[in-house]
Structure 1
Amino acid sequence: MENIVAFKGNVKYQITLDPGVWIFDDRRVDLTTFFIQEKIGNNELEEYTKAVSKHWDREIMEGAVFPPTLKTEKKFEKEKVLTGTFGIPFKPFLMNAEPRENAEFVVIESEDGQTRLTLSQAEELILGFSIDGKPLKEDGPVHVYFGDGSNQNSPIKNVKAFRVV
């Protein structure tokens, strides 16, 4: 059970996190590009309109282009999963545990000590669970990255639990 991370403390539901199944989760993010992408709050309607316009223009100029076969897409996705470096946002887990109204902080408990963050800071965390397609066995099961990427080169390792206080 050393690959399980406890989520405990001042929460309505004490849950456990199993990073071994996150590779199949659609919320996973590619850590090689996540911190270098610009964080721009796009207007969703504007983004949708631009995408539809671009598609329409392409069809007028080039004609209809059919998407690659499902077999090709599956092969590409499988290759990406086997070789990728992935993380997952922490916020959904925090929301599922439902911190109580008087909760103020999240304490990350690791073998190297404790790190205390406010709830709003904790919502921005990214939990790294895979490097080059391999789970984090030696210093895992997760690495904790701050949402702004400030600790990208030295994440919090050997995490044992998250405690809400």
Structure 2
Amino acid sequence: MIIPIAGKVSYSITLDPTVWIFDERKILLENAFSPRGEKKKEDSIKKAAERFDRAVLQKSKPPINPGITKKEGEEILKNSYVMPIRDFINNAVVDDSAKDVTLITSDDAENTTLSLEVLKEGYFLFSINGKPIMEDGPVYFYYKDGSNKDNPIKNIKKILIN
């Protein structure tokens, strides 16, 4: 269920989509391809920044990570979510000479090569109805504009930066 990011990067990292359900950067699938979804993403980033600022200002007290409410937990188990990819690629520190990316799949004949910028703008679907994608996952790749919404890239097992 993990996906390594390798190739022309300073740090080879692995992604574990099973823990993203608790990540505040996740976006509802139905909101991901609409302008409203982008607004919601910006709002969640702003809220995260505010929490960080509060934590830094409260140096004498350890920051408290509030749990989720029962209602939030029920919502998580009903919805499908995507995760923006940009932060993960940036954390791997891509070499300046890198221009494209190969999404290596379980079926090597189906590998897909796309530009680095297209990957950075895209999304990984990691949860369908609150459950990890087991059969043809662990993630599906969607273009930012949703042009492949009906036919995402599936069975991704590795991201190779070229």
TM-score surpassing 0.5? Answer: yes
Structure 1 regions of 5+ residues with no counterpart? 45-69
- When Rg is computed on C-alpha atoms for both structures, the one with the higher figure is 1
Aligned residues of 2:32 and 2:38 also touching (Cα < 8 A): no
Give the CA RMSD over aligned residues.
2.2
TM-score (norm 2): 0.77
Aligned residues of 2:5 and 2:13 also touching (Cα < 8 A): yes
TM-score (norm 1): 0.75
Aligned residues of 2:31 and 2:37 also touching (Cα < 8 A): no
* 1:71-96 residue CA offsets vs partner (Å, 9 max, x unmatched): 9x812211111111001001001000
Percent identity at matched positions? Answer: 40
> What is the identity, as a one-letter code, of the residue corresponding to 1:36?
S
Structure 2 regions of 5+ residues with no counterpart? 43-65
Find the counterpart in structure 1 of residue 6 from structure 2.
8
Cα distance in 1 for partners of 2:91, 2:150 equals 29
Cα distance in 2 for partners of 1:26, 1:149 equals 21
Find the counterpart in structure 1 of residue 138 from structure 2.
141
**Structural mapping, 1:103-122, within 5 Å:** 103-112=98-107, 113-122=110-119
Find the counterpart in structure 2 of residue 98 from structure 1.
93
**Structural mapping, 1:50-65, within 5 Å:** none
- Mark the CA change 1:147 to 1:21 in structure 2 (over 3 Å): closer, same or farther: same
Does 1:85 pair with 2:80?
yes
Q: Which runs of 4+ in 1 moved over 4 A?
A: 38-41
